[in-house]
Amino acid sequence: MENSTCLAHIAEDGRKQPVAAHHNGTAALAASFAENFHAAEYAMCIAGNHDAGKCSDAFQQRLLGGPACDHTTAGAQILCQTKLPFAKMLAYCIAGHHAGLMNAGSPASENDGTLYGRLNSRTVPDYTGFGDTCKTYPLPTQPPNLKIDAGKDNGFVFAFFIRMLFSCLTDADFLDTESFMQNAPVRAGMHVDFQILLERLHQRFKIFKPSRENPELFHARNAIRSACEKAAQLDRGLFSLTVPTGAGKTLSSLSFALHHLQRHHLRRIVYVIPYTSIIEQNAAVFMEVLGEDAVLEHHSNYDFDANSDYLANMKKLACENWDMPVVVTTNVQFFESLFSNKPSRCRKLHNIAGSVIVFDEVQMIPVEYLKPCLRAVSELIQNYNCSAVLCSATQPAVSNLCKRFQTPIHEICSLSAKESHIFKRVQIIRRGPLNNIQLLNEVRGHEQCLVIVNTKKHAKTLFETLHGKNVFHLTTSMCPKHRKLIIAKIKKCLKEQQSCKVIATQLIEAGVDVDFPIVYRAKTGLDSILQSAGRCNREGKMKVPGKVHVFEPDAEYMLRDPDHRRRVAALDEVCRQHTDITGKEAIQSYFEILYHGEGTNGLDRKNIVSRLDKGFPASFDPHTAFDTLFNFDFADIADDFRLIDQSQFTVIIPYDADAITLLDNLKHAEYKTGYLRRLQVFSVQVYEQEKNRLLCAGQIDPVVGLQDIYLLRSLTDYSPDTGLTVQSASGMAIFC
């Protein structure tokens, strides 16, 4: 074909972008992204070859409305003609830049959807015009600048590097294409002066004053903040912040992050949090303190289209690549992206490089994925210019595991015995069995009382029996907008010293700042019990300790899942060993028992780390390196790394007039993503068994054209008190 006709894109107004121009623009962007982890040459090589397949007659016809054709294999084949092992590493990115990183396959594979299948394919449209029309972007001559563990398998390191390069390519490809199509400069993210953010935070600290009831609490919180600011001057690395609930951890960790970022000239702060309820609260605090222009709240319930102004639109776009000063997100979003193979999820990864990453309630990382999660955190610290902070009132015993990954943990704040005593605001009372009648008789005797149970079925039964004025119910059967309204009512009752009784599942035990004199907690793991205790006498205003009653519910309300049983068994063992189960030694013992019982394999149930490490074995034959190195099953790993194993389905609730209007717009919209995002605050997540029951009962209908999304047919099946009417065995909070 004629060189002048090699086009990458044609805009709606007829403008044409040559492949060479697209490659040059994408290469420049990708290289600038990869500079943050010293890999600009590698990113430039990938981007400068990624659309070589567009220099074919078949693709040029495709631009004019012809049939679809493969344009992603050509660039991978061009690089791998050298038979250099690092070429194969880069080929994953090029071959998968639309469909996703693929499995390696076998050297004998052909046309089977694997990398080798692509490299061996003989049906790729002729792309020989590429070499004449485009600038050459050769393979780098130096190996990547990565810290590896000599004498051991290091496939995890290189697989992570490939995902980071893939992120640079996909983000640069999208941004350059968007710029051409919109005939506008490449979109930049939101950037701020971090010194101004630090000054805003200091202004916030000035408004805090010691309370008459508990002045020592004010001084203890200040001491913790001072320790954070002092530790921020240390070298980059892995830190832990282990302070009791109510110690001001959120703002103290933010102070560490801002000071540490400035000390090391880092680029952004990423807060990683298990529950959406905590995210909504923390993000609101961050926006209030730092300004809305600095903070991106990225999770499944956030409505970016509530306002159609410039800032809201920029934040909506920033969800794709996290190009914001402060990002607040979930464990699921963060870790599943790090192990994903999809362009849409990997696109943001390069913007994690050069960050301070704060993991709040780190003990909530699922035990069976703890090893790959911590290995990923270590990798970000060692090779991607990051620091990380593990925050918790109940710090998990992971120091030995982190040492194995060459990433020792530095504790930011060691509280003295006197300071620790200040935060002992509750008494844990182990009650043994309490049936519903006994429990509710006691609850009725209190003006203000919080009951936290393990299942939605139990919560609903207790609520419907207790039902009365200022009695509230909170579970994930209620859509987020509904829950927010209920939480606001609860806080109002507490503030005005009115009667207030709440029956909830564990969604309330972290991140919802309520303060009850009495808490009842159904038996569970020690970490959850202590989180629940953080809702009791939180501000230390009572003259006597608050009471947290831990009870055993009736057998029909016991959780049967293995993780819960492991945690209860670890609690029982700690109770036998320690009189005070709230002490540092008891908490340490709890996690050691929990993790030791799992063994090494139990901390990585799907063998994610070992499967990746085999892709670069410590000993290999250099003569067959191309076939023996960099064999990663990216697609399989992505399928296996699921922090929530059970499939979840969305049920949209026609909760109010706003929801009904959005649903009507959704039906007629050509592009539905924006409306679906806005409808998330009116949605309830259900498991497959629940979904099937709702379908069989005729309560929900599939939303036409959308997978795994359903619409509740009538609000008669949605209670203003308890939410969606469906039986469930789980009371787990929503994580995504």
Q: Give CA–CA dist 279/205, Å, rounded.
A: 21
User: So where are the chain's domains?
Assistant: 3-182, 194-419, 425-581, 648-724
Using the predicted structure, report yes or no on whether residue 313 has a pLDDT greater than 60.
no
Q: Which of 252, 281, 246, 251 is nearest to 546 (CA)?
A: 246
60-87 confidence digits (pLDDT tens): 999 999 999 999 999 999 999 999 999 9
Question: Considering the chain, what percentage of its residues have pLDDT values greater than 70?
Answer: 93
At 511 the pLDDT is 67
374-423 confidence digits (pLDDT tens): 999 999 999 999 999 999 888 888 988 898 899 999 999 987 766 777 78
417-430 confidence digits (pLDDT tens): 667 777 888 999 99
At 245 the pLDDT is 77
User: Is 194-419 in CATH node 3.40.50.720?
Assistant: no
What is the arithmetic mean of pLDDT over 645-655? 86
Both tokens of 240, joined, read 């832990």
434-451 confidence digits (pLDDT tens): 999 999 999 999 999 999
145-202 confidence digits (pLDDT tens): 999 988 899 999 999 999 999 999 999 999 999 999 999 999 887 788 999 999 999 9
Using the predicted structure, report yes or no on whether residue 731 has a pLDDT greater than 50.
no
Q: How confident is the model at residue 276 (pLDDT cuts 50, 70, 90)?
A: low
The sign one gets for the Cα dihedral 223, 224, 225, 229 is positive
User: For residue 87, what are the contacts with CB-CB under 8 A and spacing of at least 6?
Assistant: 79, 80, 139, 626
At 131 the pLDDT is 77
Using the predicted structure, report yes or no on whether residue 732 has a pLDDT greater than 70.
no
C-alpha separations of 560 from 100, 215, 262, 438, 456 in Å: 37, 44, 48, 23, 14
Q: Return the H-helix or E-strand segment holding 330.
A: strand 326-330
523, 524, 528, 533: CA torsion to nearest 10: 10
Which of the pair, 293 or 517, is modelled with greater confidence? Answer: 517
At 307 the pLDDT is 40
Which of the pair, 569 or 312, is modelled with greater confidence? Answer: 569
Token look-up 């065995």 returns: 729
Q: How confident is the model at residue 1 (pLDDT cuts 50, 70, 90)?
A: very low
User: Is 3-182 in CATH node 1.10.1740.10?
Assistant: no
Both tokens of 195, joined, read 């010194």
Which of the pair, 703 or 383, is modelled with greater confidence? Answer: 383
Which of the pair, 283 or 530, is modelled with greater confidence? Answer: 530
Both tokens of 558, joined, read 């016991």
At 728 the pLDDT is 45
Q: Give CA–CA dist 585/590, Å, rounded.
A: 9
At 584 the pLDDT is 85
At 213 the pLDDT is 64
At 71 the pLDDT is 95
Q: Give CA–CA dist 230/410, Å, rounded.
A: 13
199-242 confidence digits (pLDDT tens): 999 999 988 777 666 678 788 889 999 999 999 999 999 999 99
Q: Do domains 194-419 and 425-581 have the same CATH topology?
A: yes
Pairing of strands 546-552, 426-433: parallel
CA 472 to chain centre: 30
CATH number for the domain formed by residue range(s) 425-581:
3.40.50.300
Q: Which of 301, 307, 303 is nearest to 279 (CA)?
A: 301
What are the φ/ψ torsions at residue 6 (nearest 5 degrees)? -75, 95
Burial class of residue 270 (count of CB atoms within 10 Å of its CB; 0-12, 13-18, 19+): buried
Q: How confident is the model at residue 136 (pLDDT cuts 50, 70, 90)?
A: confident
448-465 confidence digits (pLDDT tens): 999 999 999 999 999 999
Q: Give CA–CA dist 75/402, Å, rounded.
A: 38
Q: How confident is the model at residue 735 (pLDDT cuts 50, 70, 90)?
A: very low
Using the predicted structure, report yes or no on whether residue 736 has a pLDDT greater than 70.
no
What are the φ/ψ torsions at residue 144 (nearest 5 degrees)? -65, 145
294-306 confidence digits (pLDDT tens): 888 875 544 444 3
Q: Give CA–CA dist 331/299, Å, rounded.
A: 10
665-681 confidence digits (pLDDT tens): 888 887 777 788 788 88
At 301 the pLDDT is 42
At 173 the pLDDT is 95
- In this structure, are residues 472 and 486 in contact, taking their beta carbons and an 8 Å threshold? yes
What is the arithmetic mean of pLDDT over 28-32? 97
